[in-house]
Structure formats: structure tokens, C-alpha cells
Chains A and B, each alone.
Chain A
Amino acid sequence: MTVAAAAGAGWLTLLYKEVLRFWKVSFQTILAPVLTALLYLLIFSHVLESHVSVFDGRVRYTAFLVPGLVMMSVLQNSFANSSSSLIQSKITGNLIFVLLPPLSPLEIFAAYVLGAMVRGLVVGLGVFLVTLWFVPMSIEHPFWALAFALLGSAILGILGLIAGIVADKFDQLAAFQNFLIMPLTFLSGVFYSIHTLPPFWQSLSHFNPFFYMIDGFRYGFFGLSDISPPLSLAVVATACAALAALTLRMLQTGYKLRN
């Protein structure tokens, strides 16, 4: 009586739906953040290029800025994708279509996080390609850059999922974004090297996981970093595993979703 179904294949459709969802409004979800990053690059490089020295003058400030802006775009858009998708589905009630099928908590987790990663990485690639027009760049260690981009987008995708689960209205989600994600991103060394900061702020930066993501990603471009790349990778991977475990627990118990 039932149509033959491939066990466990449903999550791929959820992933497809998540990608299709942002692709259908790509003006807002891809082109707008690329333009924003480009404006940051043009303005900050014009104002600060001759005033700021990074990595003891071995890297031009404008070039230094590019990986930071790429990673910032990756992080912000990964968070935006999973969080907005989930909160919209919760508020409009169409989340029921995801909760009724035989999808496991792990499958729901994987689909939302991978969908967020795809958007973050597409925007990040877009920012990189556009900035190449203004700043010729080479990538010294592409695998390091890729590893941090993947882990960074995964972490923010997971954080977006947590925010989407916890928030009951858009206002609460905006608070999560404006009072947590934005400050952590802007204070992570996107626009500066932490060595230019006073000692207190340097120490404080070490408690910001976003700092390790951006510093490690930048190492992939220049072969230079504020922190040893393996240490950054360990911090980022640990944060990713811990957040994934927390989110899976939320999904398994049905916290705020199945009640």
C-alpha cells in the first residue's frame, strides 16, 4: 500500500529544501551580504590602509581585511540561515511538516546545519571573488582556510539552530543576533590584529571562539597568525562538538519543538 521509500533519505530532501529556500531569495541572502562586505572593504581600506600596520608590516591592511570579511560573512550568513528558517517555520506553524515525517534528531540537525553551511560558504566565496577585483590575493595554505571555513560555518549554523529552537518570536532571535553574534564577530579580529590591542583586551579576545576561527582562517591566506593554527583548530573543533552535542540533546528531547 505504501510507496517504496529509501530509509533515512528524507534528510537529503530537508537539506535540499533549506538550500532552495535561500536560493529563491538570493538577492537578499547572497547578493546583499556580498555588497555589504564589499562596502566594508572599500571604506575601511580607504580610511585605514596608511594608518594600520599588521603582522609587522608584512601584510597590507587591505589584504589583511579580506579573509576577515570573508569569514565574517560566512559566520553571519550561516547563523542567519538556520535561525531564520527555523523561527519562521515555528511561528508560521509549517514546522509540523518536518516534525511529522520519520526524520531522526540527527537527520534534522544535519540538514539544517549543512543548509546553513552551504549558504555561509556561498556568500563567503562570493565576497572573496568580488574582493579579488580590488586586492589580488593568494592562499598560502588552502586546506587550513577550508578547515576553518567549514568548522566556522558549522558552529554558526548550530548556533542558529539553537537560537531558532529557543526563541519564540523574532524579537528574541534578533536579541540573540545583536547582543551575542554581532559583538563576538566584530570583536574577533575581523578588522584588526589583536596585537594592536591593550593587554587586557588581548587576553579577553582569547575567550572569544570567533577569534580563533578568523585567526585560523587568516593563517590559511598568509601563513601568519596571532595564535598557533593547530591550537585554534582544536578550540574551534571542541566548540563545534560541544554545541552539536547540546543541540542534538535539545532535538532528542523535543525541547520547545515537540510540546
Chain B
Amino acid sequence: MTPAVEIIDVARRFGSIQALAGVDLTVLPGEFFGLLGPNGAGKTTLISILAGLTRADRGSARVLGHDVVTDYRMARRMLGVVPQELVFDPFFSVRETLRIQSGYFGIRGNDDWIDEILHHLDLTSRADANMRALSGGMKRRVLVGQALVHKPPVIVLDEPTAGVDVELRQSLWAFIRKLNRDGHTIILTTHYLEEAEALCGRIAMLKAGRVVALDSTHNLLSSFAGLTVRLTAAALPAAWADRVQRQEAQTYLLTLADYRELESLLAALRESGIVIDELSLQEADLEQVFLRIMKKAA
């Protein structure tokens, strides 16, 4: 099966900054793939190389088997990119913007699909409004629409929900999920990790231009399975001090491997005569996994 996206040993340097230091990634057709990392990790540079907006110093990138440099026409036809920056052309209306973008891909008479996009992005009533007259969230949705006008099999969303309110975010994800169910490959970068956890089947984490974790969302969560215990008490037995992640006054945040370890903690508290004022448990989520991986890779 030809991968939807194949990135082989891609490196890119900007002056003294090594934005990408040899990245290898493969995304299969139909995947909902998450690309996570802190600011400056190299996510946008990687997307830019994939989209032909930046050239790699070394390595190669392919979209559905088409090299982004030597076979750029086919590679770009296969790819739709929602850029991170909120950019627009102030001369045109929403519909003109989508028609023009469609035309750049050589597609004429695309109004049925444009109407469908406008409907799904809740922009129908604003179709003839000038881009300048739209709110930030609406402009963001037009960017999504522009990436979809040519029905690309691979869609890259670089922080697509930044500045979009909760209700519209939900409708946007419903639309993107539908596209994924229809067979489109989705690559998502986001700082909303709960979104990535809920949507992505597989996740790559980048730090300082390198892939520091790559696995299914399920495996990432289970590999870091554990309990976070929030405990309020007058003190903590000395043997448990090194398990404290954070302390706020008499509230301790501890990470435990499993419930058996929780029993040991409770026994130690009893033996020491320490009274528990408050206790709550929390299972590992992607945010914790992300923070631990980033800390480990430091």
C-alpha cells in the first residue's frame, strides 16, 4: 500500500537553528494522525516541506508516492493544507476566495462542492461577505474551506481550532471526522491535547526537530499507564517524598504505577498516623503522557 505521507530523513536548518534534524515518518491512507510537540519543535517546518513551502536541506518527502520536489504538481494536488497563520486576501468575498482557490487547482464549475463546504463550515450566510468583515473564527473556517476545495485525499491541519469557539470547534471536528470516514487521510497538529487524544489513531511527538515518540494513541496512553493521586494531608511519609510531582501547601500530586501501589501508600499513611483530609484519583491522559515524554527527551 502506498503511504499517504512518507518522510525520509528530512533535515532543515534556519541559520543557527536546526529546525528538523533527520525526521522519518510514514502515515498510512485513511489514518487520523497527530503531530504534536512544543513550540519550535519543527511541526510547521515539516508541514511546510511537505507542502512545498520550504525546501529540505536533506531527505525526501512524498505524498501518495509523489515526491514533493520532483513531482510537485501531483504531490500538491493530493494535499490540502490549513495554515497556522490567519491569512486572507482582503480584496475578495468568501465565495470568490473559494472559487479562486479552486481555480488554482484547475477546477472550474466547483460550486456544488463549494456550497457543501460553506454549509459544513456554517458559512453559507456569509458567502458573499468580504473576508475583512469576518470574525477570526470565521476566517479560520474559510482557511479550512480553501484547503478542501480540490478534495485532496490528504489533509493537513496546522492548529485549525485556534481562536474558534467551542460550538464551532465541535462542528468543525464533526466535518473533519466525516472526511476521515470518507477515506481522507488527516494529519493534525494542535496544542489542544484532548482533541488529539479523542481524534487521532496514531501520534508522533516532536522535540527540537526529532521524533521522540511515535505510536498509536492507545499504546502511548497504556505505556504510560498509571494513576495520578491528589492527596491533601498534614504530611507525607518520608519514603514517598520522591514520588511527589507537585506540591501546593498540604496538597500533594503523586504519580503511582497502579492501584496496588495506592494500597501501599494508604498503609504507609496509616502506619505514620497521618490523617487524609482529601483524596482523588485521575487516570493518565495524553497531556500527562506528552509532558512526561517531553521531560524525558530534555
Interface residues of A (CB under 8 A from B): 1-10, 12-14, 16-17, 20-21, 24-25, 89, 92-94, 96-104, 254, 258-259
A-contact bits for B93-121, CB 8 A (1 contact / 0 none)? 00010001111111110100100000000
Contact B105 A102 (CB under 8 A): yes
B85 at the interface (CB under 8 A from A): yes
Closest 5 CB pairs of A and B: A13-B103, A93-B87, A101-B104, A9-B106, A102-B73
Count chain B CB atoms within 10 A of each CB in A8, A12, A13 and give the residue with the most: A13
Of all chain A residues, the one with the shortest Cβ separation from B88 is A94
**A104 to chain B: which residues have CB within 8 Å?**
73
Contact A3 B77 (CB under 8 A): no
**A14 to chain B: which residues have CB within 8 Å?**
104
Contact B104 A1 (CB under 8 A): no
Contact B101 A5 (CB under 8 A): no
Q: How far is the CB of B112 from chain A (nearest CB, A)?
A: 10
A3, A94, A258: the one contacting B55 at CB < 8 Å is A258
**A98 to chain B: which residues have CB within 8 Å?**
104
Contact A99 B100 (CB under 8 A): no
CA distance A92 to B139 in the complex (A): 14
Contact B87 A101 (CB under 8 A): no
B74 at the interface (CB under 8 A from A): yes
CA distance A43 to B76 in the complex (A): 54
B52 at the interface (CB under 8 A from A): yes
CA distance A16 to B92 in the complex (A): 12
B54 at the interface (CB under 8 A from A): yes
A6, A99, A259: the one contacting B106 at CB < 8 Å is A6
Of all chain B residues, the one with the shortest Cβ separation from A92 is B87
B279 at the interface (CB under 8 A from A): no
B190 at the interface (CB under 8 A from A): no
Q: How far is the CB of A93 from chain B (nearest CB, A)?
A: 4
B51 at the interface (CB under 8 A from A): yes
Contact B150 A3 (CB under 8 A): yes
Interface size class of B (residues with CB under 8 A): 35 or more
**A103 to chain B: which residues have CB within 8 Å?**
104
A21, A96, A102, A259: the one contacting B72 at CB < 8 Å is A102
B78, B85, B104: the one contacting A10 at CB < 8 Å is B104
Of all chain A residues, the one with the shortest Cβ separation from B12 is A259
A1, A7, A92, A254: the one contacting B151 at CB < 8 Å is A1
Contact B105 A5 (CB under 8 A): yes
Q: How far is the CB of B145 from chain A (nearest CB, A)?
A: 12
CA distance A104 to B113 in the complex (A): 26
Q: How far is the CB of A252 from chain B (nearest CB, A)?
A: 11
Contact B105 A1 (CB under 8 A): no
**B151 to chain A: which residues have CB within 8 Å?**
1-3
**B78 to chain A: which residues have CB within 8 Å?**
2
Contact B106 A7 (CB under 8 A): yes
CA distance A14 to B103 in the complex (A): 8
B183 at the interface (CB under 8 A from A): yes
Q: How far is the CB of A204 from chain B (nearest CB, A)?
A: 41
A7, A92, A94, A99: the one contacting B53 at CB < 8 Å is A99
Of all chain A residues, the one with the shortest Cβ separation from B81 is A100
Contact A20 B107 (CB under 8 A): no
A92, A97, A102, A259: the one contacting B54 at CB < 8 Å is A259
CA distance A254 to B101 in the complex (A): 21
Q: How far is the CB of A24 from chain B (nearest CB, A)?
A: 6
**A13 to chain B: which residues have CB within 8 Å?**
100, 102-104, 106
Cβ contacts A to B, 13 pairs, < 8 Å: A2-B77, A2-B150, A3-B102, A3-B151, A9-B103, A10-B103, A93-B85, A93-B87, A99-B52, A99-B53, A100-B53, A101-B76, A101-B150
Contact B54 A258 (CB under 8 A): yes
**A9 to chain B: which residues have CB within 8 Å?**
103, 106, 108
CA distance A99 to B85 in the complex (A): 15
B89 at the interface (CB under 8 A from A): yes
Q: How far is the CB of A249 from chain B (nearest CB, A)?
A: 15
A1, A10, A20, A100: the one contacting B91 at CB < 8 Å is A20
